[in-house]
Structure 1
Amino acid sequence: MSSVFHPLPAGFDPAPVTLVARRLPWGLILLLGLALGVLPWWGNDYWLNAILIPFLVLSLAGLGLNLLTGYAGQTSVGSAGFMAVGAFATYGLLLRVPQLPLPLAFAGGGLIAAGVGFVFGIPSGRIKGFYLMVTTLAAQFFLEWVFVKFPWFYNNASSGTISAPRLVVLGQDISGPVGRYLLTLVSVVLLTWVAHNLVRSQVGRNWMAIRDMDTAAAVIGIRVDHYKRLAFAASAFYLGIAGALWAFAYLGTASASSFDINRSFQILFIIIIGGMGSIAGSFIGAAFISLLPIFLNQAGQVLLGGSMDPGQLQNLQKVIFGVLIITFLIREPEGLARLLGTLRGRLAVWPLRF
């Protein structure tokens, strides 16, 4: 029996279709459709303001730190300091250049944070490990001190805080919960797409080579010092925009204490629990950090017959985070992202093997 061959139409190239299918799996398309088309109109103000917006901003901050620590292998505990730079720089641009569009102000704040990150990344060419971590810790305290000591950064306000101006994009006021959520979502999706392509580019491959063994990377011709500083700048850019979103889209008002050392440790916990060297791990870790307090509060209502005391809830969170961090660092350094990937692989061949 002869087979019938149906040729493809003239000019049809299946490669782009295959490429899109690979880059945008159906699960991701469904998730984006849900986030853009359903949640803004069906989610209430509590879900938008208290859960979704902080989750997205923390995911972006975790992604920024993951570029530096997970992909480039450079330890940092100064993430919140760079978030503060982005927040105060964006505020200054909106205050002193009022005709500047909001997206450009956010980008400008991110670029200023990138410049500061590049400067603090200069020592990474000579020191590494614990000593580099101490350097970034010094950057955290120094940046906090700067934004407290000099009133110019918060326009000499007696409260020492910055307040979000009216958020306008293309002539539309987006100061409401839905507008701020969409602003955050679009920013996070766009920057995640950029990071996805960045880590698969030559720059990302050089970062991973430096992370695995910087001496070998230097031997094969990679400019190690240059790419380390570039990793600090890229990380600070993401953290700067995350700080601006944290101040303007989530809190509405912020001070230097909004970006203290506890925030830096929170972002570090996100990538340790979610998975270092994984873009998805940043979102998984942020979801865990954001939803754990709600889960513990609900569990307290069921088990104890009432809501848990805030102090007890905070202490319980610290205990759980500490246990999880120790467990992941010892048993699974790649975090929840690796565990979920393993589970998905086993389900793919179930019931033959599990």
Structure 2
Amino acid sequence: MIYRESGQFKTSYRADQAIFPIPQDRYALFALLAFAFIAVPLGANDYWLGSILIPFLILSLAALGLNILTGYCGQLSLGSAAFMAVGAYAAYNFQLRLPELPLLLDFLLAGLVAAAVGIVFGVPSLRIKGFYLAVATLAAQFFIEWALTKFGWFSNHSASGVISPQPMTILGYTLTTQADKYLLVLGIVSVLALLAKNLVRSATGRAWMAVRDMDVAAEVIGIRILHTKLLAFAVSSFYCGVAGALWAFAYLGTVDAQAFDLNRSFQILFMVIIGGVGSILGSFLGAAFIVLLPILLNLLGHLFGGAVRQDVLSNLELITFGALIIFFLIVEPHGLARLWQITKEKLRLWPFPH
């Protein structure tokens, strides 16, 4: 089989520690990136770019942030959408009040602001865990949403609380087409996903996983629980903040605090559960599933000649989400990423898979 790595020997520590030690995996990744950066902008229409691919990439980034906190560090959070809102409003204010700053720097600073807010709301994790920590982060969700609506400064005293960012300009070039916005989002998500992959493989990632598995034992072997948990909250909130900025600038264009409500937080949590807890790939698989499922259900409705009403399709979507979450929690807690890993293992052993 072409996928078998027999005879591919490692000759250095660097080769042994590669993200993709099997060359076939590296070639597949490079081919996928080439397809995403070159073929998709040339072949996809504005609907696919603006309504499907851009939100898929942004939600993948938000799910990646939550996966770092929940999947790798074991800290349950229900406030992901709130940190997205912080990032969106922070990027808007940086662009409005400091117009001389580059756009990418606005996104970076927005992520840092969200990280600072995440550290504040991550302090309770030092004393509480599990369900009680989820309730604490839920309080952050309601408080941040209330603050962004109550204080007019955040929305430049807009009567409705809606923010409308200026067109995105990078190095004098204004991003006006959906293809331009897609490439910007894809570039940012690719870089941050690579950073996340390396981060979870580092000493920091191993400390997160030690705290996740047993925080008492982690503290005994010398891991600083305070530093480790707050760093996980900071990194997770940073990713969610950048995702929120992209959601406001590259996707919606005009947004208010209600766009980052509790339903959005649950949606991101469902992506992590379905895609795979503690998996970088699972964040993308879960986001793809959540984004594409409503489209698939609508197509099925049209195939039946419109016999299925729209409200029935909406309820069917919710029922499907709930059923799949229960299914993955019972049958395969590691989600779609684990199923993909099992498939790869069977390919290695074909035609004699276990």
TM-score of the pair, normalised by structure 1 = 0.93
- Aligned to 1:286, what secondary structure does the other structure show? helix
Q: Deviations over 1:296-343 (max 9, x none)?
A: 1111112x2127533222211110111111111122110011012112
TM-superposed CA distance for 1:344, in Å, is 2.1
Matched residue, 1:241: 242
- What is the alpha-carbon distance in structure 2 between the residues aligned to residue 68 and residue 349 of structure 1? 34
| Paired residues of 1:162 and 1:254 also in contact (CA < 8 A) | yes
Matched residue, 1:327: 327
- What is the alpha-carbon distance in structure 2 between the residues aligned to residue 307 and residue 147 of structure 1? 42
Report runs of 4+ in structure 1 exceeding 3 Å deviation.
13-21, 307-310
Flag the 1:21–1:148 CA change in 2: closer, same or farther, 3 A.
Answer: closer
- Aligned to 2:191, what secondary structure does the other structure show? helix
| Paired residues of 1:298 and 1:307 also in contact (CA < 8 A) | no
Q: Deviations over 1:178-201 (max 9, x none)?
A: 111011000000000110110011
- What is the alpha-carbon distance in structure 2 between the residues aligned to residue 334 and residue 307 of structure 1? 36
- Aligned to 2:21, what secondary structure does the other structure show? helix
| Paired residues of 1:162 and 1:255 also in contact (CA < 8 A) | yes
Matched residue, 1:114: 115
Flag the 1:21–1:205 CA change in 2: closer, same or farther, 3 A.
Answer: closer
Letter in 2 for 1:185: L
Letter in 1 for 2:60: S
Matched residue, 1:344: 344
Letter in 2 for 1:135: A
Letter in 2 for 1:22: P
| Paired residues of 1:154 and 1:160 also in contact (CA < 8 A) | yes
Matched residue, 1:165: 166
Task: Name structure 1 gaps, 5 residues minimum.
Answer: 1-12
TM-superposed CA distance for 1:348, in Å, is 2.7
Letter in 1 for 2:202: S
- Aligned to 1:253, what secondary structure does the other structure show? coil
State how 1:279-318 maps to structure 2 within 5 Å.
279-302=280-303, 304-306=304-306, 308-318=308-318
Matched residue, 2:195: 194
Q: Deviations over 1:133-182 (max 9, x none)?
A: 00000000000000110111111112320112110011111132111101
TM-superposed CA distance for 1:231, in Å, is 0.4
- Worse overlay, 262-271 or 151-160: 151-160
- What is the alpha-carbon distance in structure 1 between the residues aligned to residue 189 and residue 255 of structure 2? 20
- What is the alpha-carbon distance in structure 2 between the residues aligned to residue 284 and residue 136 of structure 1? 25
Letter in 1 for 2:345: G
- Aligned to 1:111, what secondary structure does the other structure show? helix
State how 1:50-69 maps to structure 2 within 5 Å.
50-69=51-70
- What is the alpha-carbon distance in structure 2 between the residues aligned to residue 198 and residue 21 of structure 1? 15
Matched residue, 1:42: 43
- What is the alpha-carbon distance in structure 1 between the residues aligned to residue 13 and residue 333 of structure 2? 36
TM-superposed CA distance for 1:268, in Å, is 0.1
Matched residue, 1:25: 26
Letter in 1 for 2:21: R
TM-score of the pair, normalised by structure 2 = 0.93
- Aligned to 1:221, what secondary structure does the other structure show? coil
| Paired residues of 1:82 and 1:240 also in contact (CA < 8 A) | yes
Task: Name structure 2 gaps, 5 residues minimum.
Answer: 1-10
State how 1:213-228 maps to structure 2 within 5 Å.
213-228=214-229
- Aligned to 1:163, what secondary structure does the other structure show? coil
- What is the alpha-carbon distance in structure 2 between the residues aligned to residue 345 and residue 32 of structure 1? 23
- What is the alpha-carbon distance in structure 2 between the residues aligned to residue 201 and residue 105 of structure 1? 28
| Paired residues of 1:297 and 1:307 also in contact (CA < 8 A) | no
Q: Deviations over 1:67-113 (max 9, x none)?
A: 00000000000000000000000000000000110000000000000
- What is the alpha-carbon distance in structure 1 between the residues aligned to residue 115 and residue 29 of structure 2? 29
- What is the alpha-carbon distance in structure 1 between the residues aligned to residue 194 and residue 308 of structure 2? 39
Matched residue, 1:3: none
Aligned residues: 341
| Paired residues of 1:84 and 1:256 also in contact (CA < 8 A) | yes
Letter in 1 for 2:315: N
- What is the alpha-carbon distance in structure 1 between the residues aligned to residue 67 and residue 34 of structure 2? 26
| Paired residues of 1:297 and 1:308 also in contact (CA < 8 A) | no
- Worse overlay, 274-283 or 305-314: 305-314
- What is the alpha-carbon distance in structure 1 between the residues aligned to residue 13 and residue 327 of structure 2? 43
Matched residue, 1:136: 137
Letter in 2 for 1:335: G
- What is the alpha-carbon distance in structure 2 between the residues aligned to residue 207 and residue 20 of structure 1? 19
TM-superposed CA distance for 1:20, in Å, is 7.8
Q: Percent identity?
A: 57
- What is the alpha-carbon distance in structure 2 between the residues aligned to residue 260 and residue 275 of structure 1? 23
Flag the 1:308–1:106 CA change in 2: closer, same or farther, 3 A.
Answer: farther
- What is the alpha-carbon distance in structure 1 between the residues aligned to residue 15 and residue 149 of structure 2? 53
Largest Rg, 1 or 2: 1
Matched residue, 1:77: 78
- What is the alpha-carbon distance in structure 2 between the residues aligned to residue 173 and residue 48 of structure 1? 17
